[in-house]
Structure 1
Amino acid sequence: MKFIISSLILSLLVSVSCTKKSEQPDAGSSAAKTTKELIVGTDAAYAPFESENADKSISGFDIDVLKAIAEKSGLQLKFVNTPWEGLFSQLESGDRDILISAITITEERKKVMDFSDPYFEAAQLIAVPVKSKVTKMEDLKNLKIGVQTGTTGDEIASNLVGKSNPNVKRFEGTPLAIKELENGGVDAVVADNGVINNFQKNNSSAFKVVSDASFKKEYYGIGVKKGNTELLKKINDGLAAIKADGTYDKIYQSYFGEVKK
């Protein structure tokens, strides 16, 4: 009797052991390969880089570039429209894993986040009414200047006339600043070349564009939380891959009508 009971207990133990082992995901199974969905913050009011569609989906140059990078690096992404003012704090708090939003790489921003290799070369431009006599940034000293809050354009205008100068009119997005220019509420708008050129292309009679030799070249980068070297490497590897195989050039040409040199 004792022998029979002992045999039954042993049999049950072996059965449980086998069951537990079979419940562990195999190293090659889809469960083991599941990748965490990364939340991407982007201010979707900056066409052609990012804009929100009628169905609330987000599209644009930045979006296509990051999606192509993700495909190369095996990343899963979810894009979330995030106002510019809260973009960087969302990354720092961990509510966003990645930022892509035509973000210029600066030494100040490097203090709070890590940037990928540059993926876009940009410069500032001045948009003014067609009949305006403005030929350079200095000419805006006594004029009303529209900028998007916290951008390089905001910084340039503030350096020219002072940050608290009431003639610097700040808006949540560059399209709003341009709309104010069309309505006569400001005399000029200072913003990134990609946005200004895109708006002018679609509204050719709205304003003219002025460049200034003092404007330095800028480079956009993809932001990750400071110290996240693993994710940064995946992004940089993916970026290098799409540049090498021509994918980046195709995306660039589809938005800007030329191949990036």
Structure 2
Amino acid sequence: MSSITTRHFLQSAGILLAGLVLAACGKQEPPAPAAGASAPAASAPAPAAKVYVVGTDAAYVPFESQNDKGEIVGFDIEVVQAVAKKAGIEVKFINTPWEGIFNSLNQGDRDLLVSAITITAERKQTMDFSTPYFDAQQLIAVKKDSKIAKFNDLKKLKVGVQNGTTGDEVITKLQGKDSPNIKRFEATPLALKELEAGGVDAVVADNGVVEHYVNNNSGTQFKTITDASFSPEQYGLAVKKGNTELLEKLNKGLADIKTDGTYDKIYAKYFGGAGAKAPAAAASK
């Protein structure tokens, strides 16, 4: 056997040492998962926040209507938007004809309703209401030269009302449910247009709508009449019967906007003056 010289030994040792250093400094790759092992599961995305669908009959100026862009606007709309902000919920408004608006709530197509809805004992049997947010009363609209002075004067006259409203209810009680003199319309402004054309002798509807129409249509030459026989009314937000979770959120939001002045600002925008019509107690009728 040939002997290994010192020089050869040192050369071999140096090569081995360099290889060890390079291996130590190289990038360490993570070990591959064992066969059959599953990769770590990605975290699930957070569920999207619920958007509450609000039904409203957008043909009741100034409470709800559509502007030139097709957007739903009005006093009721701004109130619900402010309530939703305070309650920390999202809302989406859907134009819903009055004739089917309550069915849309009962069937679950709408989560809540806002449409100048009077709180009545009959309606409370099939739906729940928030605390009231507006005081209202029926008002009679007639032409300025009319001799009508009180509600009973309408007993044998042609009267226009919006179908299914409290105005419809009071005139039906006065004239009878089969009276041919009751002219029902899909919207109060249509009834007022008929009064202007001479097709009816009077219109009975909520004061907020009638006053807004008269104030903004000076050429109509209307006057309005109040009557002691008309009971005070209150509007509320309607939810499906038993939906206490949503109702609590709405009531909290209403209380908050009445406390911080938001309600007063919205009221003044549409009706002028302070928002005196912001009742805090539930309707008793």
Q: TM-score, normalised by structure 1?
A: 0.90
Residue 224 in structure 1 maps to residue 224 in structure 2: no
1:38 Cα deviation from its structure 2 partner = 1.2
Q: In structure 2, how many angstroms separate the alpha carbons of the residues matched to 1:162 and 1:73?
A: 44
Which residue number in structure 2 is paired with residue 246 of structure 1? 261
Q: In structure 1, how many angstroms separate the alpha carbons of the residues matched to 2:149 and 2:49?
A: 52
Which residue number in structure 2 is paired with residue 183 of structure 1? 197
Which residue number in structure 2 is paired with residue 24 of structure 1? 44
1:8 Cα deviation from its structure 2 partner = 5.9
**Structure 2 unaligned runs (5+)?**
1-30, 277-285
Moved over 3 A (4+): 7-13
1:205 Cα deviation from its structure 2 partner = 4.2
Deviations 1:107-137 (A, max 9, x none): 1101111100000000000000100111110
Residue 155 of structure 2 contacts residue 175 of structure 2 at CA under 8 Å; is this kept in 1? Answer: yes
Aligned length: 245
Larger Rg: 2
The structure with the largest helix share of the pair is 1
Deviations 1:22-42 (A, max 9, x none): 4234xxxxx35x321111110
1:105 Cα deviation from its structure 2 partner = 0.2
Correspondences of 1:26-105 after superposition (within 5 Å): 31-32=46-47, 34-105=48-119
Q: 1:9 to 1:205 in 2, by over 3 A?
A: closer
Q: Cα RMSD between the aligned structures?
A: 1.4
1:12 Cα deviation from its structure 2 partner = 6.5
Q: Equivalent of 2:207, from 173, 178, 193?
A: 193
Residue 136 in structure 1 maps to residue 158 in structure 2: no
Q: In structure 1, how many angstroms separate the alpha carbons of the residues matched to 2:256 and 2:60?
A: 26
Residue 258 in structure 1 maps to residue 278 in structure 2: no
1:184 Cα deviation from its structure 2 partner = 0.2
Residue 212 in structure 1 maps to residue 227 in structure 2: yes
Which residue number in structure 2 is paired with residue 3 of structure 1? none
Deviations 1:18-66 (A, max 9, x none): 3x2x4234xxxxx35x321111110000000000122211000000000
Q: In structure 2, how many angstroms separate the alpha carbons of the residues matched to 1:177 and 1:166?
A: 15
Q: In structure 2, how many angstroms separate the alpha carbons of the residues matched to 1:94 and 1:234?
A: 18
Which residue number in structure 2 is paired with residue 4 of structure 1? none
Q: In structure 1, how many angstroms separate the alpha carbons of the residues matched to 2:157 and 2:244?
A: 45
Q: In structure 2, how many angstroms separate the alpha carbons of the residues matched to 1:10 and 1:91?
A: 56
Q: Which amino acid aligns with 1:149?
A: N
Q: In structure 2, how many angstroms separate the alpha carbons of the residues matched to 1:12 and 1:220?
A: 65
Deviations 1:147-205 (A, max 9, x none): 00000000000000001101000000000000000000000000000000000111134
Report percent identity of matched pairs.
Answer: 60
Query: Comparing 204-213 with 173-182, which one deviates more in the overlay?
Result: 204-213
Q: In structure 2, how many angstroms separate the alpha carbons of the residues matched to 1:92 and 1:135?
A: 40
User: What is the DSSP-based 3-state SS (H/G/I as helix, E as strand, rest coil) of the residue aligned with 2:122?
Assistant: helix
Q: In structure 2, how many angstroms separate the alpha carbons of the residues matched to 1:225 and 1:162?
A: 31
Q: In structure 2, how many angstroms separate the alpha carbons of the residues matched to 1:11 and 1:250?
A: 68
User: What is the DSSP-based 3-state SS (H/G/I as helix, E as strand, rest coil) of the residue aligned with 1:46?
Assistant: coil
Q: Which amino acid aligns with 1:217?
A: P
Q: In structure 2, how many angstroms separate the alpha carbons of the residues matched to 1:10 and 1:92?
A: 56
**Structure 1 unaligned runs (5+)?**
1-6, 26-30
